[in-house]
Structure 1
Amino acid sequence: MVDRRTLLKSGLAATAVGASGILGTGVAHAIPSPRIYTCTEWSARPPAAPITVENHRPTYIVVHHTVDPGNVDDYSKAHAFWAARAIQNFHMDTRGWIDTGQQFTNSRGGYVMEGRHRSLEVLRGGTKHVQGANVGNHNSECIGIENEGLYSTEDVPGALWNSLVQLVAYMAQQYAIDPEFIKGHRDFNSTECPGQVLYDRLPELRDEVSRLLGYAARRSATTEWPLLKPGATGQRVLVAQRLLRDKGYNVPTDGVFGPSTKDAVRSFAAARGVPSATCYASANTDESGFLGADLWPLLTTDPHALKAQLATSR
């Protein structure tokens, strides 16, 4: 039996597994490597320690937004290189990491850059991946792209979108990753990253990547854990409050994500040893007290039933 990774890497017709529903119909297309500027080209600092290369392909391609320096209007290559250096300096000097956290960086002008050293070399090989630091507790299975800007309420520039599509399609080809496994940072951690607007475009990104790979677009039936933030209201908040009360936290059951609910979520995360996995490229983002993908399953003994309940609640 031919699996989806073999199909994606070999370019065989997806109809070979059509009956299983893995990839649908269509013929795989070869995706050329986009222009990716190396660490040397943007004048990166050397890493502080040897880079870890995982002896397997990543499972997920993860989309982020940088938040800082915001939605600037400088779309030049010089600015893109400056942003890459600024992120590396922050990650090494403030976060204490050995190098840039993400494997790749995409500027608002559409310039794609290698993030962590060796990421491009290893991506081209297609059988291993560089371990980054961009998805809490999932770095051995994820390869991440930081997209310059803040996309909570504003859309991405066209140049950034186009380069993101090309980069993700190339990654999916190299690592034989089904477009279904293109995710946002919030699908793993309690963070708004990559911003609501960009997150809402991930189905479109999956469709575009499927088209470039030559497969019929298909929408996964998989549901993700919802993200609750202070100020949220509704049934999902009420569910969270009842679960927190079951864990011994004194919160109201009014369906309003107020200060006491935020404090309870923050305390619960600390008690369970879940670190704050905020937007890692930003020095100014405080997302403590957010309730998302890494906390919901810990609030219940039956995550599958809870996820199904939340999918029908608002």
Structure 2
Amino acid sequence: MSGSAHTPPRRWTTKQLVDWLTKALQQRSVDSPRLVAELLVAHALGCERMQLYLQPDRPATLLERETLRQLAKRALAHEPVQYLTGQVWFYSLRFKADRRALIPRPSTETLVDAALRHATLTPGAGRGLYVDLCTGSGVVAVALLKHLPHARVVATDIDEQALALARENAQLHNVLDRLELRQGDLYEALEAPTQVRSAQAILANPPYIPDAEWEEVAATVKEHEPAQALRGGPEGLDFVAPIIEGAAQRLAPGGLLAVEIASASAATVEALAQAQPQLADVRIERDLEGLPRVLLARRVAAPAGRV
């Protein structure tokens, strides 16, 4: 092994390995190269990122270097760092992550924010039933249950493997006893074994990338994450529209609907929700980057006040 841009030298310290990998990732135009390098070196060494700076002169073993080399090859091929390390942070919680499900984004935390705000402002909502459609890895459902210790969640997904990962994440955070996982397409999964009605909230992060935008999607996403969890049809509304149209009959009076959407579709989605006679207080919430990201609405007969 030499000290080229793609191969670390024989004896390098932790700091040198991070610097080497950062440079290699920069040359391949990988996003956030320093952060990715730190995460991969920490993973290869079996430590937290902070340890890289507490022990910058620690030499890596042969096994650690070989582990890092294999991780680097995959990272340089634009494989997401979350899949390489097998973990992702969401709502200040650590979750398992792999190819069975979409990688959770910070923007999706807006769904949890909206649900917790609803639970705080609505009497009794903190002990009610919540629905998480297109749950994927289950992070929204688990985060909600961690913050609402008396609530229950029914989480659905069409993909059996995604539900298996969601189950593992629920077990990881000790909330599986309050989570029911169901396989099925959107609301179909709420019909059996028992019908779900009168939910305090319906949350959803469905596939919503329009076909016309697919070619512009980053290689790390398009080539490695499950396309069926991303692509939303010609207008990006193949899943968003039926979720909006079927929400009222599954929500309790005053119940919350929160759906993550493509920012470019915000006006269309807002108009679609406003056309539903049983939905009120329709608005679009912006995400952490300031982009219109989540449709919020409330079933009619809600108490006065904002969602």
Q: TM-score, normalised by structure 1?
A: 0.24
Structure whose alpha-carbon radius of gyration is higher: 2
Q: TM-score, normalised by structure 2?
A: 0.24
Give the structure with the higher percent strand.
Answer: 2
